[in-house]
Amino acid sequence: MRTRNAAARASWLPGVAAIAVGGLLFSGCTTTASTVGATATTAAVTRPAAPEGELPAELQNQLQGALEQVMTEYDVPGAAAGVWIPGQGSWTTAAGLADVDGDVAVTADMTWPIRSITKSYTVTLLLQLADEGELNLDDTIDKYVDGITDGEQITLLELANMSSGNADYLNQEFSEEFTADPTKVYTLDELNGFVIGQPAQFAPGSEYRYTNANTNLLGAVIEKVTGQSYAESLDEHILEPLGQTGTTYITDVDDWTAPHPVGYFVTDGLPVSQDENPSILGAAGSLFSTLDDGRVWAQTLATGALLEPETQKLRQIGHQIPSPPYDQYAVGMGEIGGWWGHNGEGLGFTAATFHNNETEASIVVYMNESDVPEVHPADATFRALAEVLANGAGQ
């Protein structure tokens, strides 16, 4: 699964950029973090159970039809998806092929890269540390990482809500190094090293721009504050308390041993497999997860179950953005039509994980296709599934 042709290799680097580069946010709402961090311990949480039983057959048929329509329209090789509605039941499905060349079907228990959904885990962990009094969101990044331009002005909150103005790491130096050795396993410190001393994109707090570098710097903050690796801290604060046994932080593709799909770019209807090197994404995108763990995370993220109420209220202050595809992007999560969650995309995979606090429904979609012009396949599927629910079926 790690080999492919030269033409596909040349297309990989733009795919990396697609993961990291969002658009400008248009609203300039100012927030303060000084009140966060007053409590001594992280809010206790247990793993939420899936609703009992199956959703009505008619609703399942409509959901399956919506999924298959998106897959057909965008030539998506394979997908796993689920909808969960308390008091009504669940629907999960696996469709298409996990491996086109091997004719291997997708199964509902496979492990998928969730890409930028990782950001929602990282920012949640940061906010937990603020709740525990281990840091303050008004702290500036220079307290934790040396050499960041405007580091004495950029706050942790500005990194979390994408308003830092900090340079991204997808620069010429990184591009040349990665092209020379696409299999190199990068450390978080190495990724952050590519932004040391780089020119700022804008003054801190004056604009909003979505980048991986913002979240990777927060990963370094987490490591310094906890005295643990990012992976160890994530396990202790989030994965173990929630029972997320199917979710893992992977930087070496050889550690991706669970049954899983192959990622694809599709050109003129033909899928081209993509090599996997999760280390280039770090704390911004290197998590792998399962459909059921996605269900748990969708609910936990949207409800703020791991955080103090005032912290969750703070993280929901958002801004309109053209890309990634949210109505508004807030503090490590986005909102679409009343659904809160996060999308992920790049290097052959897209993912969407959302929960509606009003209806208590959750939707998770994983697909093994990315870099479709002007379309995020998993997000398009999430929206189609949400529309089925909004039209009255099952609500």
Q: Give the number of domains in the chain.
A: 1
Q: Which run of H or of E encompasses 80?
A: strand 78-85
Going by pLDDT thresholds of 50, 70 and 90, the confidence category of residue 392 is confident
The CATH number assigned to the domain holding 351 equals 3.40.710.10
Residues 6+ apart with CB under 8 A from 114: 287, 288, 289, 294, 344, 351, 353, 366
Distance CA(272)–CA(259), nearest Å, equals 20
In a domain, 328, yes or no: yes
Mean pLDDT of 192-207: 96
In a domain, 325, yes or no: yes
Q: What is the pLDDT of residues 12-37, one digit of tens each?
A: 344 455 454 433 222 233 344 544 54
Q: What is the pLDDT of residues 348-358, one digit of tens each?
A: 999 999 999 99
In a domain, 125, yes or no: no
In a domain, 295, yes or no: yes
Print the domain residue range for 101.
Answer: 6-115+230-390
In a domain, 331, yes or no: yes
**If you search the block for the tokens 């790690």, which residue do you land on?**
2
In a domain, 253, yes or no: yes
CA 125, 207, 285, 91 dihedral sign is positive
Q: What is the pLDDT of residue 320?
A: 81
363 closest CA partner among 82, 28, 48, 26: 82
In a domain, 187, yes or no: no
Which structure tokens are listed for 258? Answer: 């669970």
In a domain, 157, yes or no: no
The model carries a pTM of 0.92
Distance CA(286)–CA(284), nearest Å, equals 7
In 178-205, which positions are buried (b, 16+ CB within 10 angstroms) versus exposed (e)?
A: beeeeeeebebebbbebbeebebbeebb
Q: What is the pLDDT of residues 300-326, one digit of tens each?
A: 999 999 999 999 999 999 998 767 889
Whether the pLDDT of residue 340 is over 80: the answer is: yes
